[in-house]
Each structure stands twice: as C-alpha cells, then as structure tokens.
Chain A
Amino acid sequence: MGRMTLELEGVSRRFGGLEALRGITLRVPEGARRAIIGPNGAGKTTLFNVITGELAPSTGRIRLFGRDVTRLAAHRRAAMGLGRTFQITNLFSRLTVEENVLLALQALSPRKYAMVRPLRRDAALLRRARSLLEPAGLWEKHATEVRALSYGEQRQLEVLLALAGRPRVLLLDEPAAGLSPGERREMARFIKGLDASLTILLIEHDMDVAFEVVETITVLHLGSVVAEGSTEAVRADPAVQEIYLGTVEARGAR
C-alpha cells in the first residue's frame, strides 16, 4: 500500500446527546477512490465536516498527508490540498458564475489580499476562469448570477469550484443528488475522468454512480464503520445488504 493521504483514528463527534460519529478509523492511501455509503443520518456528511475542519471531532485524531491536522483550521487544510463539495449546494448565489470561479481560483494566492488593483485588470486570472468554465459549457453564462442557473448547472459549478484550487484530495458529498439519470451518468463519467493521482472520497446514494467511480467502499451505519472493502465484497456482505443495500433493493423491487 502506498503512502497514506488521509488517516482517521478513533474519531467521534457528538451533537448534544447524539453520537453522530463513533470511533471512526479510516485509512485512505494516495490516489484511492473510495465511496462512503450508508443510510440517511449515518454520519457521512458529519465525517466530511470533521475531515475538512468545519467541525471539530469530540475525540480522535486526523492526519492529512501524514501531518496531524486535528486542531488545524479549515482554511489551512484547504491550503494543504483538501477540496470538497457540499451535499446542499453551497455557492456564492448572488455573485456571477465568473466571480464564483475567480474566488475559487484566487483562494490560495496571496493576491486575494490585494486591495487597490482592480480584479478585472488581472488578465491571466480571467483567462484561467474562462478555461475552467468553457469545457463545462458554462462560459456563456459567466455573467449570470449563480442563483439564476438551473439546478444541474449549480451542481456542476459546485464541483468546478472544488477543483479550481487543484486539490490533491477531493471530498464529494452526493455530487449527483437530485440530478436526472442522464446528468448522473455524465457526472459519474466526469469524476471517473479526473486525474488519476487525485484521491477521491465520494458520498453517494446512487450505486450505479458509486460503482462506476470507486474501487473500495466504506459503509457507515449509525456513526460506525460496519464494512469496508472492494465493491464486490461489500456488495456481498450480508450485514451490509441488511442495513443498506437490502433496503435499496427492496425499494427497487417495489
């Protein structure tokens, strides 16, 4: 096994009386593509929030690229190369598409503190924004406020913002949620086509999307890891079938 990109040791998180994460231990090697699955309320989003530093763990340790980041602020973890998307679309909704991308592009540059020179004079930065938006088919909407975009376009931008800073680890929280079947397939293909050196953690309910993208799966249930392994092994695990896949198949059979 290669170097570890992300390691969690006995990470727990309480919300008052609720233990949303219970002693999670997780090791994600460099370049891995791992899905985190589990029923609603299993603690998947909370796990992401603890990894990114949006929430502090109640107990346990987190290491990123071998460095202990348990107490490190969220923006510093981002600067180390940790990118994420949000389950509930989290964009700068009253800014234009282009401004959203510009914010993502300048996030890790000291020029974000520049106060005098107009942003619009930075031709190189504007070019980078355009070259990020064009392949996604969003350039023609660059001057549109994000709140006026379709839901599908917003989900697309959600991923683009996370990629703009060229992260080395990407946490995707249900990127295909709410999309049409066609858009889901497109999203799956897009994620699969990302740079092979990029470590990806993917929360996904849609098994077709998950199986398309990842080679290993971690199953979370009531805040604990209940199974972990290759997609086939997890699919065959009777405990997993009972708590998760079983319910999905039962729903599918109806």
Chain B
Amino acid sequence: MTPGGWPLGRWRSRTAAAAVLAALAGLPLVAPTYYLHLLTLTFCYGIMAMSLDLLVGYTGLSSLGHAAYFGVAGYTAGVLATRYAIGFWPALTLALAAAVIVAALFGLLAIRATGPYFLIITLALGQIIWGLAYRWVSMTGGDNGLRGIPRPLLGPGLHLAEIRPFYYFALIVTALAAGAMSLLTLSPFGLTLRGVRESESRMRALGYNVWLHKYLAFVIAGAFSGLGGALYAYYNGFVSPADVSLVASANALLMVVLGGSGTLWGSMVGAALLVFLQNLISGITQRWLTILGAILVLSVLYAPQGIVGAARALAARAAPRPESRRAPVPTAEPHP
C-alpha cells in the first residue's frame, strides 16, 4: 500500500503500535538505565525527525534547517526555567509558541522557494538561529551553552528528577505526538500534502492553494520539532549552539532518510539507529563520522527507501496478500 495510507491495514498497524508501546512501557523493569537514557534521547530526536518527515516525505520539502525550531523551543524553555524560574507547563507552552512563531516567520521566507533553493534558504534561516544562540551570550550563554535546566515538576509530587519517571513522561509525550502526526497524515489535509509532493501544478489546477498547504505543513512541523526540543532541554538539562547547528539539522534529515522518508514511523527508527550507534560506537572508536558515512552509503545502495521502506517491501514479498496490490484496504469499501 502507499505510504501514508493504512500501510498494513488499520487493525494491523494499530496492533503493531500497541505492541511497541507495551514493550517500551515494560522496558524500565528489565533494562539498565543507560538504555533508558538512550531511548529518551531517541524520543526527543524522533519527534523532531518525524515532524521533518511531514515536510520531506509527505510534502516533498527537503529542509536543512529543522533543528532551528527544536533549538528555539529548547532555548526558550531553558531560559525561562533557569533565568526566570518559570514552571514547567507555562514554560513548555511558551517554548512551543516560540517555535511556532519562528516557523511562521521563516515559512513566509522559505515556502516560495522550491527544490535546492528551499534547501539553501532553510539552511540559511537555521544558521540565523545558530548565530543567535552563539552570539546572544547574556541570554543563551553563548558557546558555553545554557546549563542547569531543572527536571520538570509536573504537579504536586510529580517531580521527574529520576530517569525512570522522565522516561515514562517522554514516552507518553512521544506517543501522543506520534499519534497526532499519524492522524494528520491520514486526514484530508495529509492527502493534500502528498498531492503537493506529487504535482503542484495539478493541485493548483484542481483548486488548491498550494502555498498555504505547504506553509501550514511547515508551521506544524516546526511546532512538533519544538516539542522535541523542549523535551530534550528538560531531559538533558543543557542546550548549546550544537543543538541548533547545521550538523543537528543534517542529522535529523539523515534519521528521516535512513528510516525511510514518507513512512513517518521510519523516522523514529532512524533516530533510534543514530542515537544508539553514535553512543555505543563512539565508546569504542573515534571514527563515528566514518562509520556514519559508511551507513549512509550502504543504505543508499541497498535500502534507498530506508529501513522501514525496505522492511515493507520485504514483508509484501514474503506474504503477498490475495490480489496483492489491488486488494482494497478493509475500510476502503464504502458501505453500500
């Protein structure tokens, strides 16, 4: 089935999501805290990567500045928490608002451009945020970053100081964000994004305001990226210019491509792959970038649709459904 439809049928994908969620919920009972730490990082980056996939895989907009919104929200939350002692929920709300405002402004500049020009403009806009993080020392701490962001106090008795409670909180936030983005891809609006990706001129001829659809997608993706960034700031306790750098944006794009662009869930898989490999391998060798390059080359050669894309293709070959690709999705049949 096509990316963004119900890939395995609605029932099967719901079962799969529930199984993964149950496994992740049970994990703290058996797994060492180090793995919970890596998974929590995966959640933060994964939310950003999934939101980037809304742009790259669904709308056909390859942004190379998506860490900007992650960073704007992360810094906003960090500054409010450390300098103004503002509580978690209001700080989170303001952090998301900041990401949305910046995405709404940058979108005005970026959306008119197409192809490589869009890539370059988003890159340049991302560098503005990096420059701010680096130069606005009194606010951001400059090169040293912003330290001492406290773990959130959700409510009376709900202090997420320990890794396990934070892990659960991050899991819930991630599940909700992933669910919301997943719903978006299945909505009428989600279909219009894939239509824009396939043919803008046909969309215009049908009566779609292509600019507006791209712009809305851009702002929504920025908002979710900001959610990932705020979660990251509270978890990590520290944000620095590296988190909004070009490398951070390129990493997010890599997660999308490795996982399989246009699959949404693949981006979370790509995030897990990068976070785990980076942390496990850089303990053994200094050659992380070399290994990353090799992974990228291998994936482009052997799994150009990414891990999830390749797995879907394999699954389709292993278990062809009767009538294969023509088989209607269960819910596709209108009730006569």
Contact = CB atoms under 8 A, between A and B. Distances in A.
Interface string B183-203: 110111111101100110111
Contacts of A53: 204
Interface string A73-113: 11100110001101000111111101100111011100111
B210 A75 contact: yes
Interface stretch (A2-10, A16-24, A115-123): A115-123
Given A54-B201, A126-B332, A143-B329, A103 B206 contact: yes
Contacts of B190: 115, 119
A103 B202 CA distance: 10
Contacts of A165: 206-207
Contacts of A143: 1, 325-329, 332
A140 B334 CA distance: 14
B6 interface: yes
B199 A92 contact: yes
Contacts of A253: none
A159 B207 CA distance: 15
A94 B198 CA distance: 7
A115 B192 CA distance: 10
Interface in B205-221: 205-210, 216
Given A116-B183, A143-B326, A74 B195 contact: no
A191 to B, nearest CB: 18
A160 to B, nearest CB: 12
Given A84-B205, A112-B192, A144 B331 contact: no
Given A54-B201, A78-B206, A127-B334, A103 B192 contact: yes
Contacts of B2: 94-96, 99, 145
Interface in A130-178: 130, 140-145, 148, 161-162, 164-165
Contacts of B1: 143
B141 interface: no
| Interface of chain B, main secondary structure | helix
A103 B205 contact: no
B260 to A, nearest CB: 14
B109 to A, nearest CB: 20
A78 B205 contact: yes
B87 interface: no
Nearest to A92: B198
A170 B189 CA distance: 26
B335 interface: yes
B49 to A, nearest CB: 20
Nearest to B207: A78
A102 B191 contact: yes
B332 A142 contact: yes
Contacts of A120: 6, 10, 186, 329, 331-332
Nearest to B184: A115
A130 B334 contact: yes
A1 interface: no
A86 to B, nearest CB: 7
B142 interface: no
Contacts of A79: 207
A250 interface: no
A92 B187 CA distance: 17
Contacts of A148: 325
Contact of A126 (B192, B208, B210, B334): B334
Closest 5 CB pairs of A and B: A78-B207, A92-B198, A107-B206, A126-B334, A74-B204
Interface of B: 1-2, 5-6, 10, 183-184, 186-192, 194-195, 198-199, 201-210, 216, 325-329, 331-332, 334-335
